Amino acid sequence: MSVLTRVARPAAVIVAAAVAAAAVVMSVSVADAATGDGSPTDANIAYVGRWDPPAATTVGYWSAPYIRAAFTGRTIKVKLRDSANVYVSIDGGPDVFHAGVRGTVNLTPTPLAEGTHQIRLAFRGGPAFQGFVLDPGAQTVPPKVSKQLIEWVGDSITHGALNAKTTLDSYGWVASERLGVEHATIARSGGCLVAYDGCFALSDAYWKKGIDQTANWNTSRYDVSAVVVNMGTNDAGHGVTPALFGATHLKFFRDLRAAHPNATLYAFQSFRMRYVAELKATVKAMNDAGDRNVHYIPTEGWLTAADYVDGGHPNEQGNAKIATRLLPILRANLAAPTDATVYKLVNRHSGKVLAIPGGSTTNGATAVQATDNGSAAQRWRTVTTGGYAKLVNVASGGTLDVFAKSLADGAAVVQWTDNGGANQQWTITTSGGYSKLINRSSGKALDVANRSVAENSPVIQWTDNGGANQLWQLVPA
């Protein structure tokens, strides 16, 4: 039986080595199988992070590897060979925690509505996945998977230690979710960068498929667009000299560059300010050698005492603050989660889709919400430009535009011929399965006026208030 490795190509991998969490890039491995049957070798199942090739039992490694799938029907069960702690999100809903489960586990004790559903399973600890059990006649379909991925490499801080959901509360996980990209965490509590004084060395372990594994990880199984390395906190406690740390750090970055030639690499300053000069020296050395795609992330002033669990590990609030600080840094080198894919944009509050009424091709035609009828006037092609997204209507070719470059709340959102204006560019940030679209010119959110659920209600811009009428689900169409 031939084996095909297919990568849901992430355009971004960020290696954050700050404490004990590292990132793993999303790889999707499939083998010859009955696509749609929910088995581990089903080509519609996306394995995100470092996983063995799909087999009857498929094993994942490092911190919180996860699976994405989509399925028809009303119920779904998962089969697990070994006891596992699993966080399950269905259709972008909140995580439901299943502690220490094994065998066949019912993930939908209350059946869902008929239709197609998205599911994400994140594992705390190494999973041994044996497939899904679907309703009679149901099947899997291709899930929504970003083509970008962030890898986070580090120690316990990156790992999310001492937080309720561990890695799912970590700044790497939170930032990635808000960016709408896939992510992986390669981290270990107590980890160092340097192999010294018996400390677990991430500069060596990063190249292995798992924490306790001797087998090397094949880095060609996925693409990497960015890497953030946040390390040094534990090295200082083990007596690693600045000279030894600096030499190891530079070699690690050079090795990362060899493995990921197109990745943006980040040297992330630890919160205890360890080896600051050495981190900066790595960036300078690589920049001076002609590699301008390496950057330093300073972290002074990011956190206060109230942002820590124990004075050393960020709590949930602290991790969220770090993620917020990281977003503009990452966006500068990450394209919006767009790739010329055609989407329908479904409003969370009303369930209706973004549309140009009547399929108009006129400049200034007002965008509205409408019941999905499958027409091209309700479909949008995303085009990346300088880290922002343009939304181009499939029927008309018009670009989603804030009328007259207005900065005011309530300004109309229309279609207009593409003119390269900032009022036609949007930042797309995703959390919990829904996205905000923030206009580059005004900084305001794409909004259904007055929280209306009515047909053909106008779409406007408004100050971001977190309302469900400002949240949209980008569904490939």
Q: pLDDT digits over 428-476, tens only?
A: 887 777 899 999 999 999 999 999 999 999 999 999 999 999 999 988 8
With cut-offs at 50, 70 and 90, classify the pLDDT of residue 1: very low
Q: pLDDT digits over 143-176, tens only?
A: 988 888 899 999 999 999 999 999 999 999 999 8
pLDDT above 90 covers a percentage of the chain that reads 73
**pLDDT at site 31:** 39
Q: Give phi and psi for 279, each to the nearest 5.
A: -60, -45
**pLDDT at site 340:** 54
Strands 434-439 and 426-431: antiparallel
Q: Token pair 């994942």 is at which residue?
A: 60
Ranges 241-245, 325-329, 408-412: which has the least confidence: 325-329
158 touches 19 (CB < 8 A): yes
**pLDDT at site 15:** 38
**pLDDT at site 32:** 41
With cut-offs at 50, 70 and 90, classify the pLDDT of residue 386: low
Q: pLDDT digits over 195-249, tens only?
A: 999 999 999 999 999 999 999 999 988 777 788 899 999 999 999 999 999 999 9
Structural Rg of the chain based on CA atoms: 23
Examine the pLDDT at 26 and tell me if it is beyond 90.
no
Please give the average per-residue pLDDT across 101-125, as a whole number: 96
**pLDDT at site 27:** 40
The whole-model pTM stands at 0.68
- Please give the C-alpha separations between residue 256 and each of 261, 293, 339, in angstroms, as whole numbers: 8, 12, 25
Q: What is the mean pLDDT of the chain?
A: 89
**pLDDT at site 434:** 86
With cut-offs at 50, 70 and 90, classify the pLDDT of residue 387: low
